[in-house]
Amino acid sequence: MEKELDGIQSLDKMTDFKKEIRQVWVVIEDSAKVIEERVNRLEDMVELVNKRSTLVSTRVSDLERQRDELQEEVPYLLRLTRVKNNHRVGSAGQNLNSRENSGRVGSDNT
């Protein structure tokens, strides 16, 4: 009879042990779900950061290209502006000289 009682107690202990194992597995599975959700959110964030990084890199490259183009254009524009200004000053000087000369001629003839 004692053996039977010991056997029943052993079975009870086994049943309790199985219940505890199931509870531990439930906790582990719940934790795994939470961790998986966090990992998924992090993966989404990393993907978004990668896309934005690519956009920023592309924009920086575009701006560098534009800067280089402007650096090439500035000396040409400066020369062009000087030529136009020199031409205007030269034309204005010629106009003043021709007016002065025509005024003198007109006064000599009168």
Could you report the per-residue pLDDT of 12-57, keeping only the tens digit for each? 778 888 999 999 999 999 999 999 999 999 999 999 999 999 999 9
What does the angle CA 96 – CA 97 – CA 103 come to, to the nearest 5 degrees? 90
pLDDT for position 89:
64
Amino acid in the structure at residue 72? E
pLDDT for position 51:
97
Query: Higher pLDDT residue, 77 or 50?
Result: 50
pLDDT for position 34:
98
* Structure token digits, residue 68: 């280089």
CA distance 55 to 60: 9
pLDDT for position 100:
53
Ranges of H-type helices in the chain = 2-109
Tell me how far CA of residue 13 lies from CA of 9, 19, 67, in angstroms: 6, 10, 79
Task: List all residues 6 or more positions away from 6 whose beta carbon is below 8 Å from its beta carbon.
Answer: none
Q: Residue 107 pLDDT > 60, yes or no?
A: no
Query: Higher pLDDT residue, 77 or 30?
Result: 30
The pLDDT-based confidence of 84 (bands split at 50, 70, 90) is confident
